[in-house]
Structure 1
Amino acid sequence: MVASTAAAETSQGIETYGNFIAGEWTAAVSGETMENRSPADRDEVIGRFASSAAADVDAAIGAADEAYRTWRFSSPITRANILHKAANILEGRIPEVGRELTREEGKTLKEGIGETTRAVQILRYFAGEAQQPSGEHYPSANPYTLLYTTREPLGVIAIVTPWNFPIAIPAWKIAPALAFGNTVVFKPASLTPLTAVRLVEALSEAGLPPGVLNLVTGSAANVGDPLVRDPRVVAITFTGSNETGAELRRIAAERGAKLQLELGGKNPAIVLADADLEHALGHVVSGAMMSTGQKCTATSRAIVDRSIIDRFTDMLAARIGALQVGDPLDAETQIGPLIDERAADRVAGEIDAAKQAGAELLVGGMRLGDGLERGAFVAPALFAGVDPESKLGQDELFGPVLGVIPVDTMEEAMVVANQVKFGLSASIFTRDLGKALSFAREIEAGV
């Protein structure tokens, strides 16, 4: 366990963590806490965290608003140095934080360490960005007029992040906000608060002034809602569900707040007849199944030329069926649990519904026992003969599920790829550069 100034007390070996407001770790005003349990073993309590409400949010926003008055005028070098120092602190804790991330979120240890390493890289990147030129000079028709632009901070930023990348996504949002002179109120996902605490610890220890970064843990209703509605919050950045994103659009529009959203995906991989199938196989399987398919960029549709579909589907079935599912801390494990029991039940239910609708389940799809009963484990699933207009072909499942869709031409493949409501990521496998470039022009996707 990483030594933590955030842990206020320990009971029966379980630490309790507070909010971070105005430079201090503090319990929720109500004194209430919430338990966080391992998705691999529901009997394992990771920790107890502040179960916050509107009063805690108000205090955090007030601290951020006060700190903004001076932080906005801090030098870019000062901000860059703090981010560099935070990166160094976090880098020294990669093994411990990566392991905690794995226990809390369920991705494999290799992925947990990799994500923590990525967060270090993000902090360093934005430390460099803080020192880049912040504007441009333009020629003027009037010799007595000076025309130039400059970047100015906005103010208090609400940062609301998901559980599936609990340190990389917060780092990607918090670091640029701080680098350019904003202050932050950070609401992490309730399912992964410990990883959020570790990131905030590193930034605090690096020398951030009190109030510049504030952490408030709790539910979306009790923390997220009052946070995004507060008029002192001038901008909101959110990664999560499409439904919440739609509600945030309405809230931000009503009060004129700036808004940045990262939402869902139903991402295609097109495999043409001339593709290197071994090469395509590795990328499609990893894209679909790594992080247990719980990422908005997961490959959930393999759109395959009919002339090779039997061969490629057999290859997929063999590879997916051989994936090792189990304890994410085990070095041999390739696929960990879903985030919680509710997610596992939902994905298993969607798999059953797809079978009832006529899709052919070739591999996996069942809840797993055999020593894994206490975790949220579902065997990675492969479907063949998926109707592109079916629920399986259209909706994001957010789990280890891949559907194979047959097509006869590249033109048909492009139509199928583009006929979903999402447009996040996409890939093509072909030896024909012309077709690859056509795909890049025509695909309705991009981050």
Structure 2
Amino acid sequence: MPHNPPKPIYVGGRWRDATGSDAIAVTNPTSEEVIGFVPRGSAEDADQAVAAARAAQEGWGRTPQSERIAAVEAVYKALEARSEQLTEAVVDDVGTPRRIAEKLQTGLPLAAVRDFIEAAQGIEEPERVRNSLVHRSPVGVVAAITPWNYPLLQTVGKVVPALLSGSTVVLKPSEVAPLVPYVLAEAVHEAGLPPGVFNMLSGLGPEVGAALVAHRDVDMVSFTGSTQGGRAVAAVAAGGIKRVSLELGGKSAAVVLPEADLERAVKATVSSCLLNSGQTCLAVTRLVVPRERYADAVGSAAALAARFTPGDPSDPATKQGPLVSAAQRHRVRGFIDRAVADGANVAAGGSAPPDGLERGYFARPTVIADADPRAEIAQEEVFGPVLVVLPYDDVDEAVRIANGTPYGLAGAVWGPDEESAVAVARRLRTGQVDVNGGGFNTAAPFGGMKLSGTGREFGKAGLEEYYELQAIQL
């Protein structure tokens, strides 16, 4: 695919140049080579994009829901036709191994679009509540600020429900991995949405992102990123009393109950932790096991992690690709080194560069043992391929360890049966919990508690975030 879009930003239904001439280099994390450039947008570009979205919103909001659904279906078909292009962009831009990218970076977002379309059926029918009719109206102009790790899935989770609700969108994708959103913009353009309904501009968070969050004509900000970034977004948006949806960090735990299948639990946890090189917000990065089974769990996790040999993500046999950037690699290595300095032991991996990989932002799949549950490595999101194994003496302690971080995005429970596992899952303060290997569901609510954010994405709950409620008393 061409890595230099012919026109750099998409505003008001057309491609055009940004107001400034500065550009941001796009780097392939496997080769460390520059593979393209995107514009460094400005506050002026943001203002023009918001103006286009505001001008289009009333007409789009009054468009019959059936026509909005048809428009999103057209976007879906245009994306589906670009499946291979989307996968190639993720491999080049994020470093996700191809076989994983096809399923999770391309296939899963397409499934999410279908789930949103299904959730939209009948959602705008007025609801009678005694002498009131409750109507749903579009929230208005939405600023969607998306991350680099799952560039299509996270963008679909914001743009599609906004469009279905009758809201208009200004998308600011991450400058770290911006290629996939350009493919999305091409699909939207092909689908023929009215000018200004969807707008996209690249740029830096402190410049373009900040301008969108503070803009007086933006009604809602949907942000996915770090907890630090979420705090900044919430603080600025509060000045305008804007609706804010935040999907932030996580430090998810898998609790293995005494009679659970340990081998199965460890295998699934290692796979979750190392997925996308650990650059997954809901990755299970803490394995909490009975003390009497602790040594077996550490040994099994270390052996499994050693099989995830880092390599070229374009090779179908590769299980783990590079991290997205040199800065991310430096961050991950720092966490490992500080964990060792704090007294933990490395059971597999470590901070040294992987053997035989002179180029690329690669990190070793790492298993940490003998860490204090209160230590940084067991408390803070690493966002890399690092698993911490922690022992417990009774189930109450296991729940305390699982809940004992500032985050509450996801988790897992492994038990001898569904009933006992669900009973423990209900005690976890997280937005979602996988029980005995339950899979991610794009029709179910996704989001966090505590420092993991506010609001929900995907399915009907994610669609409802983009509506205002109006009660008409009769």
Residue pair 1:263, 1:296 contacting (<8 A) in 2 also: yes
1:47 maps onto 2:36 in alignment? yes
Cα distance change of structure 1 residues 100 and 139 upon mapping to structure 2, 3 Å threshold: closer
Aligned residue for 2:5?
A: 7
TM-score normalised by structure 2 residue count: 0.88
| Bigger Rg, structure 1 or 2 | 1
Aligned residue for 1:187?
A: 172
* Cα distance in structure 2, aligned partners of 1:389 and 1:154: 41
Q: Is 428-437 or 164-173 further displaced after alignment? A: 428-437
Aligned residue for 2:451?
A: none
Following TM superposition, the consecutive aligned residue runs of length 4 or more in structure 1 with deviations greater than 6 angstroms are none
* 1:177-199 deviations in Å (ceiling 9; x for gaps): 00010000000000111101111
Residue pair 1:354, 1:392 contacting (<8 A) in 2 also: yes
The code of the aligned residue for 1:203 comes to V
* 1:85-134 deviations in Å (ceiling 9; x for gaps): 11111112212211111110111112221221222222222233333231
* Cα distance in structure 1, aligned partners of 2:419 and 2:139: 44
Residue of 22, 36, 39 corresponding to 1:32: 22
Taking only the aligned residue pairs, the percentage that are identical comes to 34
* Cα distance in structure 2, aligned partners of 1:273 and 1:31: 61
Residue pair 1:61, 1:156 contacting (<8 A) in 2 also: yes
* 1:406-446 deviations in Å (ceiling 9; x for gaps): 11111110111111110111111110445313212211111
Question: How many residues of Structure 1 are paired with residues of Structure 2 in the alignment?
Answer: 431
* Cα distance in structure 2, aligned partners of 1:433 and 1:371: 44
* 1:343-395 deviations in Å (ceiling 9; x for gaps): 10111111011001100101112343544222110101001111101111111
Alignment of 1:296-315 (within 5 A): 296-315=281-300
The code of the aligned residue for 1:198 comes to V
* Cα distance in structure 2, aligned partners of 1:377 and 1:427: 27
Aligned residue for 1:64?
A: 53
Alignment of 1:36-435 (within 5 A): 36-43=26-33, 45-114=34-103, 115-138=105-128, 140=130, 147-368=132-353, 370-435=355-420
* 1:39-87 deviations in Å (ceiling 9; x for gaps): 11112x2211111111111110111011112111111111111111111
Residue pair 1:64, 1:185 contacting (<8 A) in 2 also: yes
The code of the aligned residue for 2:59 comes to T
Greater RCO, CA 8 A, separation 6+ = 2
Q: Is 302-311 or 114-123 further displaced after alignment? A: 114-123
SS where residue 49 of structure 1 aligns? strand
Residue pair 2:94, 2:149 contacting (<8 A) in 1 also: yes
The code of the aligned residue for 1:190 comes to E
The code of the aligned residue for 2:128 comes to Y
Aligned residue for 1:12?
A: none
Residue pair 1:81, 1:127 contacting (<8 A) in 2 also: no
TM-score normalised by structure 1 residue count: 0.93
* Cα distance in structure 2, aligned partners of 1:7 and 1:435: 53
Q: Unaligned 5+ residue runs, structure 1? A: 9-16, 141-145
SS where residue 339 of structure 2 aligns? helix
SS where residue 32 of structure 2 aligns? strand
SS where residue 273 of structure 2 aligns? helix
* Cα distance in structure 2, aligned partners of 1:363 and 1:90: 40
The code of the aligned residue for 1:274 comes to E
Residue pair 2:5, 2:182 contacting (<8 A) in 1 also: no
SS where residue 68 of structure 2 aligns? helix
The code of the aligned residue for 1:90 comes to L
SS where residue 7 of structure 1 aligns? coil
Q: Unaligned 5+ residue runs, structure 2? A: 432-446, 448-474
Aligned residue for 1:11?
A: none
